[in-house]
Amino acid sequence: MSTDHQKYSTENQADAIAHYAATRGIEVIRTYADQGKSGLRLEGRDALKLLINDVQNGQADFSTILVYDVSRWGRFQDADESAFYEYICKRAGIRVEYCAEQFENDGSPVSTIVKGVKRAMAGKYSRELSAKVFGGQCKLIERGYRQGGPAGYGLRRMLVDQGGAAKGELARGQHKSIQTDRVILVPGPPSEVETVQWIYRTFVQDGRQEPELAELLNARGIRTDLGRRWTRGTVHQILINEKYVGCNVWNRVSFKLKRKRVHNEPDMWIRAEDAFEQIVDRSTFQAAQTIIHERSCRRTDEEILDRLRSLLERRGWLSGLIIDEAEDLPSTSVYRYRFGSLLRAYQLVGFTPDRDYQYIEINRALRRIHPQAVGDATAEIVKIGGRVDRDPDTDLLTVNEEFTASLVIARCQQTPVGSLRWHVRFETGLAPDLTVVIRMDRDNDERLDYYLLPRIDMTLPRLRLAEFNGATLDAYRFGSLESFFQMAARAKLMEVA
């Protein structure tokens, strides 16, 4: 279970399973329970992993596994993953029974179909819930409410009711207890506010750099909001954080559906100006940003790479925190700006991080491919005599004033068992008459094929494609865009006659 206030609490599941077992003469000898854990992926599901391990290693002293319902295996985004874990149990001769389902898990065609649908629906439930939660969080950010995280030095979290009336300050580690309450940021103690203003004033007017400011603060006996000594990095974070000018910024980093953490581009950030009371005036803040930007522009790319290479030799490895704390290096934002990403900068100095950041590079490459694909399609339609109006903001194509089309790049993803999948998100807000899906190959380097999906036949906001999808979907599959271009071709009336 992921929360403790729902019908899927472990106590309720245990009662239902016990009743099911009693009516069938089954003895329950062991329970595997993942309490308060998300079912989106196997990581963190220690009990499920232990169950699978016991089964695979022959340590299972039971013949049947009782599960409350299909979704309790997990709301995996790939339904095949849930089926795979059940298959492991069946392969070991252990039967799996679902206690709250209306079908018998007997391997019949009906049960197989129903399980497949329920697994897909379990994943769909999480996706829809994620979209709703994200939309709600965006609205709250735009209204000036804080969405998690510590306030930071010089600021405090204030709890307000649904009418905006202050209810009290939240101490570190405290959380709101009423769902309708909200959290905003307010200025902290006058001494901390003065320290923040002094940092900006000394940095902008006196030209003192972050290491010097950290030394001066430590000499005065001032500590950070965490009670630690000041460093170059902690001072730098104060100098670049927009919350000190009252700006509420969110979605810098995405971690949707428990997948890999992604640092979003600035155009994807959600922001609200003047959401909080500012403790630093905007002109001083902008002056600080200009100084930070210009000091990095004086160094060539090779110079800042040499400094990064020297840091790698001294420390043996690199991270964003190490770079920001180094006194003779520009900040991580400079490396991202100069080289497109930290990963690219790491590659140029010969460092390979433990984490796999390849997915970030693939996404960026696909984002570069999209406008080129739209441009190529537009040019080809014009070439054969058609007319195209391209919306500069959405890239929605209006062809011959007759129908609209949207081009979507579908990235290839590999499941844990080696199968290939493509996830398609339809532009429901634009509601194009035709969605042209460009499927990429296994390495996401070349185009594999195309799907021309009419809106009238696509009723769901998302679609998952496998390598082969049966006649229902593969009837829309093409090896090129020739069929799409023919839809836009014009013919003279005399030729028709």
**The two three-digit tokens of residue 133, written as one number:** 């939660």
Q: Residue 377: enclosing H or E segment and its boundaries?
A: helix 358-383
H runs (alpha helix) in 271-319: 282-297, 301-315
Asked if 481 and 380 touch (Cβ cutoff 8 Å), the reply is: yes
**If we measure between CA atoms, which residue out of 282, 279, 293, 290 comes closest to residue 198?**
279
Return the amino acid letter for 167. K
Asked if 232 and 324 touch (Cβ cutoff 8 Å), the reply is: yes
Task: Pick left, alpha or beta for residue 378 (phi over 0 → left; psi -120 to 50 → alpha; otherwise beta).
Answer: alpha
Tens digit of each residue's pLDDT, the chain (497 residues): 655 445 567 788 888 899 899 999 999 988 888 876 666 667 677 888 888 888 888 888 899 999 988 888 777 777 777 788 888 888 888 999 988 887 888 778 877 787 878 877 776 766 666 667 666 777 777 777 887 778 889 999 998 888 888 888 888 778 877 878 888 899 999 999 999 999 999 999 888 888 889 999 999 999 998 888 898 888 988 998 889 998 888 776 655 544 555 666 666 677 788 888 899 998 999 998 888 877 766 678 888 888 888 888 888 888 777 887 776 778 777 787 788 778 888 889 888 776 555 566 677 778 878 888 898 899 888 888 888 998 887 889 999 888 899 999 998 888 766 788 898 888 877 889 999 999 998 888 888 999 999 988 887 778 889 888 888 888 899 998 988 888 888 766 555 44
- 101 vs 123: CA distance, rounded Å: 17
- Please list, residue by residue across 173-183, b when 16 or more beta carbons sit within 10 angstroms of its beta carbon and e when fewer do: eeeeeeeeebb
Backbone angles phi, psi at 438, to 5 degrees: -100, 110
